[in-house]
Structure formats: structure tokens, C-alpha cells
Chains A and B, each alone.
Chain A
Amino acid sequence: MTATLSPPTTTPEPQAPLQPQGWLRYFSFSVDHKVIGLQYLVCGFIFYFIGGALAGMIRTELLTPLSDFMPRETYNEVLTLHGTVMIFLWIVPVVNGAFGNYLIPFYVGARDMAFPRLNAVAFWLIPPAGLLLISSYFIGSASQSGWTAYPPLSLTTPATGQVIWILSVLLLGGSSIFGGINFIATILKLRRPGLKMLQLPMFCWALLGTSILVVLSTPVLAGTLVLLSFDIIAHTGFFNPALGGNAVVYQHLFWFYSHPAVYIMVLPAFGLVSEILPVHARKPLFGYITMVYSILAIVVLGLVVWAHHMFTSGTPPWMRLFFTIATSLIAVPTGIKFFNWLATLWGGKIALNTAMLFSCGFIFNFVFGGITGVALAQVPFDIHVHDTYFVVAHFHYIVYGGTVFVIFGSVYHWYPKFTGRMANESLGRLHFLLTFIGFNLCFAPQHWLGLNGMPRRVAEYDPQFTFINQVSSVGALLMAISTLPFLINMVYSAFAGEQAGDNPWRALTPEWLTSSPPPVENWKGPAPLVTHPYGYGAAPESQAVGASSP
């Protein structure tokens, strides 16, 4: 029984080494949360490079006003795959699955997630779903209707690719829901005795909020996509106006998931950056309680703002008013968090290493994307720039400038914990510099393009926009180049990096109070009780209290 259900690489004997140290365990159905976390991370990066290559194709096409690099249909496929891969296979799995799985059990003082096998199932849904999605390009036609798959467009584009797209997103949604259930149970039910909710590191709160959003909103998307697949396969008319259906209902249901999905992508990043800043600024996280309430406020508000994506979809005035106000309100908790990060840095003993650089890059980009977000919430402005490159610039500032910067910062911050070795700082700074300049060069000009009316998702454009598009493409090239020092750094440092020791950053959160990389059940002895994870500037022994039991 055990032999068939448990991974072959493990043994129930607790005293023996539980897993081989070889690479093979990363390809096994391992149930160790740290292995699963790294599986998510590496798998996510593979899809990031695929999605990045697709972005490179888009920017190459847009070098010239005519669609001369690829046919228009191919451009639509590339566009759809880029969006879907980046959201469902890179950002969501990495920022939740990778860092959540690796860190949350440490933070709650547990030895694994609440449901370890469900955890492995959730991860192993991702590679097949990703392969399925990408394979659709090679077996005829990938979906051409964008990552939103709005009907009636998604009903008129080639059906095979669209149905495969739906299937793939359903699998990824299932993975996401399983992960969310696991995080909620782990954070609420698996806390070490004596550890109170308000003593948890901020990342736990961020992931709790995220998981609540996942559990409440992802199933709605799943149901909607099933209905959409009926429209395609069985020719029902749910969302098909020609058959008496209602395409706007699809938009409502889609955005009921996909707006919270923005917070699913960005709340964990808030949590991660709240872990990184105090360590490298040697200061307690400013305003812990207000941070917690801000996260909860974002969760609640995040569920009632979805129709701000639909101001041009014939929404009635009362709806516009409500969603404008609700969306603008989100700026309050978000702003509180922003100022809390600044206050955390203020007067700190800041170490400007790569992790810190990326975190500061995040703060810079995120406030920019946040401000354009508040602007987009205002109906008159939104109608003007709807479906233009202004929107593209806005959400890339949030999702790339925000979340991806935090992912890179987190990789540098936790690299010593993952591998036991330090990442190379010079390569890291080069990576940051190229990414930061490339990113801003790529996306800042797109605000201008959008304000002047360049529509998004179209392979051709008015020749007056040529120069700005070329500038943007140069920025994209820099971003592509920036991955080279990163990759070299990751591989080189894993073998030849400086030995890190257990706690190179002298951090106080529990994952640093064990060896690097940590043993299978996280601590050789009892789990430490960390009641002040941000107690920098006080005597360390008063902060991290070793467990008195068992």
C-alpha cells in the first residue's frame, strides 16, 4: 500500500534519511513541501522563458507597422499563448505555489503542508496542463481569442485550440483551488501551539488572503469555461447573441475571477516584499497590524470591483458608479501598504544587495502601476483608453514591474536557503540593472501609445507610432538579455557559489533557524517558536524562543 501510494524515493522510517539527495526527487511525486516548492519554481521559470519568447515575437512583429513578421492569425495565437502562459503557468503558480509551499510550513512552525499529497497532486496538474496548452499550437491552431476568451470572438475562432485552451485552464484552476485549500488549512489549522495569528510573518496573511480569493473566485471561472465549451462543442447559446445568449454575462463571470486574480498575483508579492525589506533594512516591518487589515480589506474589496473591466460593455450608470467607487477605495489599503514599506526602509541600515534592489524596483514600479490603475478606474478616462496600450502598460507595471520583480528579489533572497550557497552579487546587480532599464524602456512608452489611441492585441498599427514601438521593442530586447546573467548566476552559484551558512542575512523568520538547505522535516529538533519575526534592533534571544516541549 505504502509502496504504491508514497513516492518510491521515501521511506516511512523516520530516523533514516527520508529522501535521496539526488536530482531525481525533483521529478518524483514527492510530498515534501520544499521539493514541491522548488518544482513549482523551476517549472514556472521554464514557462516564463516560453512566455518571454512569445513576448519577444510580439515585440518583433511590432517593430514595423505592417504584419510582416508573422501572419495575423499567428500573431493572435502568440498573443493568447503569451498571456495565458504568463498568468496561469508563471505568475500564479510561482508566487503562490513556489514560495507559498516553501515558506508557509516554516512560518507556521509545521513540518509540511496540511495535505501533502493533495499538494503534490496540485503541482503535477501543471506540467500536463502547460504541455496541453502549448501543444495546441502544433496540432492545428492555438486559441486566438486572447487570455480573456471573450465570446463571441472565442466562438468564431478555430474551435480546437479554444477547447484545448479551456481544458488547460480548467486543469490549472483545479490546481490553484487545491493549493488554496491547502494553504488555508495549513495557516489556520497547522500553526504551532503558542503561535498566534498576529505573530505570523506577513507572507502568511498575504497567502491566506490570496487563498480565500482563490477558493471563492476560481470555481466561478471554471463553471463559466465549462459553459463556454458547451457553446463551442454542443452549440448551446449561453454567450452567443446570435442564439439568444448574452456575451456580457460571460464578461461578468470571467472578471469575477480574473479581477481577484490580479490580487492572487500581487498579494503574495506584497507578502514576500514584506519579508525581504525588514531583513535587509534591519528594521521591524512598519505597521504590522495595519498591513494585516489592509490585506483583508483588499480581499473584500477585490471581490466587488470586477466590472471596472467592463465600462465599455454597456454597463448601466449605477454599475459604473459603484465599481468606480469600489475600485478607487482599493487604493486606500494599497497605499497604506506602500507607505508602510517606505516607513520600513526609512532610517534603516539598508544593505543594497540584489534582493533589496529588486524590492525597491518593485516599490517604484508598483506605485506607478497603481496610479495608472486609479486613473483607469475613472469611467471617463477609462472609456478613452479602453483596449489601448495604456491598459497594456498599466497591467505590465503591476504584474511584471510588481510581481515579477518581487519573484526575482525573492529568488535572490532565498537562494542561500534553497541551495546552501550565495548567489553572485555582481551578476545579480547586472541582472537588476538590465531588467529595470529594459522593463521601463519597454512599458513606459506604451502609456503614450495608448493615450494616443494605439489599440492593443492588433498586429498592425498606424505608422505614426513606429518609433515609440521600436523603443519599446529595444526595451524588450534588454529584458531578454537580462535573463542571461540571471541564468548563469543561478547555475554557476549552485555549484561554485560561496558557502552561505544557515542564516547569511541574520534574519529572524523561522526558515532561517534551520540548516541550508533544510532537512526533510524542516528542523532537526522541535520547531522554534518565533513570536517576533521582525524584531530587528532588539536582542535576538528575546525574539526567537526555542520550543520548550516536546
Chain B
Amino acid sequence: MTSSSFPSPISASAGSPALAAGLPVAEAGAGGVAVSLPGAGASQDTEAGHHDGAGHGGEEGHGDFRMFGLATFLVADGMTFAGFFAAYLTFRAVNPLAEGGNYELELVLPTLNTILLLLSSVTFHRAAKAIHQDRTQACRNWLLVTAALGFTFLGGQMVEYFSLPFGLTDNLFASTFYAITGFHGLHVTLGGLMILIIWWQSRQGGRVNRANLFPLEATELYWHFVDGIWVLLYGILYLL
């Protein structure tokens, strides 16, 4: 399955292997699923030979809409965060905290973390650029740097969690803080694992290459999304 000459996905019905395209959202959204589909791209290539059959969808020339599906999923995912943010802001507006609670947070570590995540978006972009120029090794290196930045971010989160003066159930702010940053951290964890998976898959003879960039591009879009959410989160939870 090449992103440049995507065989009509309609032929995907009834188990033709082009169906492997059928799970992009789960694949990108749920991270680990990508591992369970190691040969999907390759099997689609073998399907190309079947693609001439009349009534096999040859008349419909559709582009690749898997990114569209992923983007729709990310809108949904973003709405989950929107719900959390709305809840947080409402709590903050109408629910006074119990004695001893306040909304102030230490800013040094989270600011460093923000810079790390923003950097990781840049490095992921460099990785995508490199593979477009057929510099696979450079791409793989940038991917590793990106994953390292992501996991360093998570380490920073851990340090912050353990240094905070409040626990999960101490007050409403504490609970909301842990719920939102934890949910975001889950996204970063999945994203980091996805980056490692495409790093592995972009090895010599792996399924991710210039002819099949979708896994890499999907992960990139997801990673930028998680970054963007963090910037919002940083503004709302830490700065506001």
C-alpha cells in the first residue's frame, strides 16, 4: 500500500487484504495495535495483482482518507480533554478549596517539560522530513531522539508528582490536576511506544519506508496533537 498510489480502499470489502487499511484510527489512536499488524503493508502489495477485476472498485479513484479518519478521532479525543478542562474551570470558578488548598504550582519543572515536548515535535518533524529525502538512518535517529524527549518528559512528570505537596484525594484541585495530567501522560506514553514501534518498523526491510509512510505520518499527527494539548494544559493548569 503506497500512499502515492493508494489502491481503491473500497476493494477492501469482504476480507481483501487492503482491509488492513481498515484500522488506522485504532492503530494510531491506541498505539500498540500497530505491532499486531506487522505485515499489513506488505500483504496489501500482494493484493495489487487482484486489483484489476471488474466490479472490484476499480472505477472509484479515492485518495488516502486514513489521515482524515485519524483527524476525526483526534477531534473526539480533544473533546475528552475539552470536557476535563471545562470541569476544571468550573470547579475553580464555583468551588472554594478546603482549608490549606490552593491553585499555585511550582513552575520550573513543568516549563522545562513544556520545552522538551515542543522540541520533540520539532525532532519528529525532522524525522519525517528525513524519510521524505530517503535518509532513513537520519529519520530513525530523529525518531529515537523524539522518543527519548517524550520519555524524559514522563520522567519529569514523575518527579513532579512525587514532589507535590498534595495527593490524589486531598482536595478538588489535586484530584483534577492528577486526572488531567495523568490522562495526558497516558497519551504521551502511548505516543512514545508508537514512536518506538515505527522506529523498529522503519529498519531495513521493515514495513515503514518511503513507499508506506502512513504509520509514521499518523504517529506524527498524533504526537503534535498531544503536544498541542499539553500547551493548553500548561496554560490552563499551571499559568492561569
Q: Which residues of A contact B (CB under 8 A)?
A: 1-2, 5-7, 9-15, 18-19, 30-33, 109-112, 114-119, 121, 177-178, 180-182, 184-185, 188-190, 192-193, 215-220, 222-224, 226-227, 230, 234-238, 243-246, 249, 252-253, 256, 520-527, 547, 549-550
Contacts and interface: CB of A to CB of B under 8 A. Distances in A.
27 contacts: A1-B38, A5-B19, A5-B40, A6-B15, A31-B13, A110-B10, A112-B13, A115-B24, A116-B19, A117-B19, A118-B23, A121-B26, A177-B73, A185-B72, A189-B68, A190-B10, A190-B60, A193-B61, A216-B75, A219-B76, A219-B83, A222-B80, A223-B80, A223-B183, A226-B179, A246-B94, A549-B59
Interface in B128-178: 168-169, 171-172, 175-176
Interface centre among A178, A181, A524 (most CB of B within 10 A): A181
B43 A1 contact: yes
Contacts of B86: 252-253
Given A238-B175, A249-B90, A10 B15 contact: yes
Nearest to B174: A236
Contacts of A522: 13
B80 A12 contact: no
Given A2-B43, A224-B83, A253-B83, A520 B22 contact: no
Interface stretch (B49-57, B117-125, B223-231): B49-57
A525 B65 contact: no
B95 A246 contact: yes
B69 A181 contact: yes
Interface in B1-33: 9-17, 19-26
Contact of B87 (A118, A192, A253): A253
A115 B14 contact: no
A383 B80 CA distance: 31
Contact of A230 (B61, B78, B81, B179): B179
Nearest to A29: B15
Nearest to B178: A236
A178 B25 contact: yes
A7 B14 CA distance: 9
Interface centre among B22, B61, B63, B183 (most CB of A within 10 A): B22
A224 B26 CA distance: 22
Contacts of B22: 31, 115-119
Given A224-B87, A245-B91, A253-B83, 10 more contacts: A2-B17, A118-B22, A118-B24, A118-B26, A215-B75, A216-B76, A223-B83, A234-B168, A236-B175, A238-B172
A376 B8 CA distance: 50
A193 B86 CA distance: 42
A258 to B, nearest CB: 13
A517 to B, nearest CB: 14
Given A116-B13, A121-B26, A249-B91, A1 B40 contact: yes
A516 to B, nearest CB: 18
B79 A121 contact: no
Contacts of B9: 114, 190
Contacts of B60: 109-110, 190, 192-193, 527
Contacts of B97: 244
Interface centre among A178, A244, A524 (most CB of B within 10 A): A244
Contact of B54 (A119, A215, A525): A525
Contact of A236 (B37, B39, B78, B169): B169
A526 B94 CA distance: 61
Chain B interface bracket (under 10, 10 to 19, 20 to 34, 35 or more): 35 or more
Q: Is the interface of B mostly helix, strand, loop or mixed?
A: helix
Q: Is the interface of A mostly helix, strand, loop or mixed?
A: loop
Interface of B: 9-17, 19-26, 37-40, 42-43, 47, 50, 53-63, 65-66, 68-69, 72-73, 75-84, 86-87, 90-91, 94-95, 97-98, 168-169, 171-172, 175-176, 179, 183
Contacts of A256: 83
B178 to A, nearest CB: 8
Contacts, number: 219
B169 to A, nearest CB: 5
A189 B60 CA distance: 11
Contact of A244 (B40, B65, B95): B95
Contacts of B72: 180-181, 184-185, 215
Contact of B56 (A185, A252, A521): A521
A340 to B, nearest CB: 30
Contacts of B75: 215-216
Nearest to B50: A14
A520 B13 contact: yes
Interface centre among A11, A117, A224 (most CB of B within 10 A): A117
B23 A1 contact: no
A457 B58 CA distance: 56
Contacts of B11: 14, 111, 521
The 4 closest A-B pairs by CB, nearest first: A10-B15, A117-B22, A112-B13, A220-B83
B227 to A, nearest CB: 19
A529 to B, nearest CB: 10
B23 A121 contact: yes
B83 to A, nearest CB: 4
Contacts of A216: 75-76, 79
Nearest to A526: B59
Contact of B10 (A112, A185, A249): A112
A51 B19 CA distance: 35
Contacts of A226: 179, 183
A237 B172 contact: yes
A222 B21 CA distance: 26
Contact of A523 (B19, B26, B55, B82): B55
A274 B5 CA distance: 38
B143 to A, nearest CB: 24
Contacts of B68: 185, 188-189
Given A234-B169, A249-B91, A525-B54, A115 B15 contact: no
A348 B44 CA distance: 51
A189 B75 CA distance: 17
Contacts of B81: 223
A462 B111 CA distance: 62
Contacts of B98: 244
Contacts of A244: 95, 97-98, 171-172
Contacts of A6: 15, 17, 19
